[in-house]
Chains A and B, each alone.
Chain A
Amino acid sequence: MLAAGVFLAPALAMIAMFTVVPFVQGILLSFQSWDGVSPDAPYVGLANYRFVLHDTEFLGSMKNAVVFGVVGLVVANAVSLVMALAVHRARRGAAFFRTVYYLPGVFSTVVVGVMFAWFLDPKIGVVNQTLKAVGLDGLQHNWLGDPKTVLIAVAVVFVWYHWGFGFILFLAGRQDVPQELYEAASLDGARGWAQFRYVTWPSMSHVTGIVSVLTLLSGLQIFGTVQVLTNGGPAGHTEVPTLDIYQQAFQFSEYGRAAAMSVIFGVCLIVLACVQLWVSRRLGGSTGSRAEKGS
């Protein structure tokens, strides 16, 4: 008992001090007005929430976050899964492909932003220059300046940056599926799609659930890439909640409103994570519970 206390104390102290206390303080701050400097922060009741819930920029940012989350969930995860199955089947070069596919994932969000800001630049960007060089001048576009294309452009960047992570997890999950299942399935005459549908997919449902949660959450919380690429523009068309919270606090000195946004957004994220884990556990059936016991 005493020993457990000694071993656990540093961890619990750190987590309590720098994670739990700020989380609770953040909830309190959402009912206060604070400019970031003055020593007192008067309570203002629900004023911050009233403001935030009528703030079209914030509501729009939530909608954009959903776009990034869903694109990540559907497109990035589909790419991750297909490429993981492909690398698993490759006889030669599997290690090379694995290394290369995760390479974008080791870049920082800031650097990814700098890279693609250049590629997509209307004048000196590689994308437009290439279109011009091959005679497709008509397709040149101000990708990040046009409200019609900017969200898609940023979503493509997010997929490029993120799919390697899901790929690594899917590959690990595929390698854990016992070979006997495939032997049994092929005795039953299952080939190609049927093998995938009745062996691979159900056996990997645990991994799929986890990858889905992580991709969805990181899409919803996208920040650095958007800040560098567009800073939420043009005219708020790529505003995302984390950036909005940051701007509300550090540009407009409305820390109470920022905290109210944090609470609303945070609750959404937590609920989503719980729902999705619960769903994938239900779908996972026996696989899910086996993995749980193993952990």
Chain B
Amino acid sequence: MALYALLIAGALEALVPVLWILSGSLQSAEQLYKGTDPIPHPFEWGNFATAWNEGGFSQYLPNSLLYTTASVVGILVIASMAGYALARIEFPGRGVVVGAILVIMIIPLPASFIAQYKLLITLGLANTRIGYILVLIAGGLPISILIMRGFFAGQPKELEEAAAIDGASLLGTFWRIILPLARPGLVAVAVIQAMGVWNEYLMGLVLFNDSSLMPVQRGLTNFVSAESPQQQILLAASLIAVLPIVVFYAVAQRHIISGLSAGALK
């Protein structure tokens, strides 16, 4: 009994603020500014339309979709190749490379974002889509490489040996045989990186001046500072910004949870 009291208290602690936002986003301005009645009357569904139009979400959401897809695909391709080499191909200095990746993983973003910004200016890539995507890919690579390496190391070697005897090239074997078998690893990497990229804020803040290029989190703060919207509109806008990732979480939560554990604990 005490156990369930604790579990339910935890669930309320996590859920009540979320439900309160949902309620606030559906209230009229008068109701919201007046009292604590949590049931919207009437339901102002129009708040979401207003937030969508004034907040520029028809730009920001496709931008975020593009950044997330492009960087996750890039990370999957590059990290799975590197992870495979580090797990399976014998070469001198392999341990050094793994150690270097571990060290690089410790470099925190606050230690390098100013210099990253300067580098992108030098390359002419500040305030561009490709610049942001490249930075996101590079940031996601180290942990993803280590996760993929762990998966490849756990796979049986026989298939590759059979393919090698059949005369398939290493790259061909990798794409057609090894990679499809590594699906659980790819899914784990994809889901944690997708969540990370969707919610990324600092680099989006630093790199973009042009609001037509901004991802959704950056767009949300842009909306706040440029329009100072009414509270209920702002709440609706922030729900629009999280809705895609909440739906994604609902669908893929099993993979997200195992991906987080794989990423942190392996």
* Complex Cα spacing A119 to B238, Å: 14
A33 to chain B, nearest CB (A): 13
Contact with A along B83-110 (1 / 0, CB 8 A): 0111001011010010001001011111
Q: How many residues of A contact B (CB 8 A)?
A: 94
* Complex Cα spacing A129 to B266, Å: 46
**In the complex the two chains form, is A103's CB within 8 Å of B242's CB?**
no
- Among the stretches A52-60, A144-152, A183-191, A269-277, the one at the interface with B is A269-277
**In the complex the two chains form, is B231's CB within 8 Å of A118's CB?**
yes
B239, closest chain A residue (CB): A111
**In the complex the two chains form, is A14's CB within 8 Å of B137's CB?**
yes
Q: Count chain A CB atoms within 10 A of each CB in B4, B110, B258, B264 and give the residue with the most.
A: B110
* Complex Cα spacing A231 to B23, Å: 26
**In the complex the two chains form, is A11's CB within 8 Å of B82's CB?**
yes
Set of chain A residues within 8 Å of B4, measured between Cβ atoms:
90
Beyond A8-B81, A14-B137, whether A25 also contacts B104 by CB under 8 A is: no
* Complex Cα spacing A245 to B110, Å: 8
Beyond A15-B138, A23-B115, A25-B119, whether A4 also contacts B89 by CB under 8 A is: yes
**In the complex the two chains form, is A266's CB within 8 Å of B85's CB?**
no
The DSSP consensus for interface residues of chain B is: helix
- Among the stretches A68-76, A135-143, A221-229, A279-287, the one at the interface with B is A221-229
A107 contacts the other chain (CB 8 A)? yes
A115, closest chain B residue (CB): B21
Set of chain A residues within 8 Å of B97, measured between Cβ atoms:
8, 12
* Complex Cα spacing A120 to B265, Å: 36
- 8 further A-B pairs in the complex, CB-CB below 8 A; given A7-B81, A99-B250, A270-B108: A11-B78, A17-B138, A19-B107, A26-B111, A90-B4, A97-B7, A210-B264, A246-B202
Spell out B's residues near A (CB within 8 Å).
3-4, 6-7, 10-11, 13-15, 17-18, 20-21, 24, 32-33, 35-36, 77-79, 81-82, 84-86, 89, 91-92, 94, 97, 101, 104, 106-119, 134-135, 137-139, 141-142, 145, 150, 170-171, 174, 195, 198-199, 201-202, 205-206, 217, 220-221, 224, 231, 234-235, 238, 241-242, 245-246, 248-250, 253, 256-258, 260-261, 264-266
